[in-house]
Amino acid sequence: MALFDFKRPAMRPEPVSAGIEALMQGFSMEVMPRTAEKIPDFRAILPAGTRVYIAHIDGTPIADMAATAARLRAEGMEPMPHFPARIIADRRELADWVARYRGEADIREALMLGGSPTTPKGAFDSSMQLMDTGLFDNFRRLHVAGHPEGNRDIGPDGGKSEILQALRWKEEFARTNGIDMAIVTQFSFEAAPIIAWAKGLRSEGIDLPVHLGVAGPAKLQTLIKFAIACGVGPSLRVLQKRAKDVSKLLMPFEPTALVEELAAHKAAHPSFAVEKLHFFPLGGIKTNTDWTRTHGGASAQPATLN
C-alpha cells in the first residue's frame, strides 16, 4: 500500500498561516482499540512519531489495549495509553497493566486520570493515587487531565479549587521524579474561555504546558451528543447556535475557526500555556487526519522530539 509522504506538502485548498502550522507541530490523536482496527496502517495517515492516546473504556480487555499499543509502536507512532483510576481493581491489576504495556509495546508515556465512573471499582479514586504507587516512577512522561470549563463531577462550581490543588500536587510529583508532564484537556468549542482558563493557570502558579483537546470534524448532531455526554460546559452554545441554522445543520462542523483564533493568540502571546493540540476524532480517524494534513499537520514533527 502506498503511504502518504509527509516530507512533501499536501495539496491544500488555501494557504495555511505560519501561526496555525506552528501550533499544529507535535499534535496528537486519540483512538480506541475498536476504532484503530478500522485503519489499515497509521503510517498512511499520520506523521512518524505522532503521539497516539489509547482510550481505555471500562470493559475493554487489557489484552486489546496492549495489542493496540504494540501495533502503534510497530507502525512508528508513540502510543500513550489511558490509566483511568476508578476502573482499576487494585495495585496488582495496575502492576499487570504496566508490565504488559512495558513488555509488549515498550510504553514510556501514560495519561493518568480519574476516569468517568463516579464510583470506584476498587482501591483507586484518583490519578494521584496511581502515581503514588511508584509504578510510574520510571516513565519518562505522564499527562494529566485538564478541564477548561470545569468538571461538575468534582463539584457544583466545576471543582475549580480541587482541580488547582490536584494540579499543584501533580506538578510537584513530576518535578521531584524528573518526569515530563503536561495537561491534556477535554475538548471545547470557544477560544475566549480557553484563553482565560490558560491565563488563570499561570496566575495560580501552574506552569505545566497544556495540550488542548480539540474535537475533530464531525456531523453537528454527533458533536452535540458527545459534548453533552462528556460534560462540555458553556462552549456548547457554539454548536447549539449553529444547530438553529437549518442550512448548516447537515454540514460537517470543523475546528478551523477555533484553531485559527488560538493560533493567532499564540503568535501574539508566545508564553500562552497551550503548546500543542490533541484531537478527538469524533467524526472518524481518517476524517480527522485528512483535516490535520490540510491545516498544517503535514509538516508536523514527531511528538517524541518535543
In order of start, what are the domains of the chain with their CATH numbers? 18-305 (3.20.20.220)
Q: Hey, what amino acid is at 3?
A: L
Residue 181 forms beta bridges with which residues?
142
141-174 residue pLDDT tens: 999 999 898 655 555 555 678 899 999 999 999 9
Burial class from Cβ neighbours inside 10 Å (0-12, 13-18, 19+) for residue 121 reads: middle
What's the pLDDT at 15? Answer: 67
Q: pLDDT under 70 in the chain at which residues?
A: 1-15, 150-159, 226-251, 299-306
Q: Is the dihedral of CA 65, 71, 74, 78 positive or negative?
A: negative
What's the pLDDT at 189? Answer: 83
Q: Where are the beta strands (DSSP E) in the chain?
A: 28-31, 51-54, 78-84, 109-113, 141-146, 180-185, 210-215, 218-219, 252-253, 274-280
Grid cell 475566549 in the structure block, residue: 192
**259-295 burial string, b = 16+ CB within 10 Å, else e?**
bbebbebbeeeeebbbbbbbbbbbbbbeebbbbbbbb
Contact between 188 and 232 under an 8 Å Cβ cutoff? The reply is: yes
What's the pLDDT at 289? Answer: 97
What's the pLDDT at 16? Answer: 75
Q: What is the pTM of this model?
A: 0.87
What's the pLDDT at 5? Answer: 42
**103-114 burial string, b = 16+ CB within 10 Å, else e?**
ebbebbbbbbbb
What's the pLDDT at 243? Answer: 57
What's the pLDDT at 161? Answer: 84
- Please state the φ and ψ torsions of residue 305, each to the nearest 5 degrees: -95, 0
236-250 residue pLDDT tens: 566 666 655 544 555
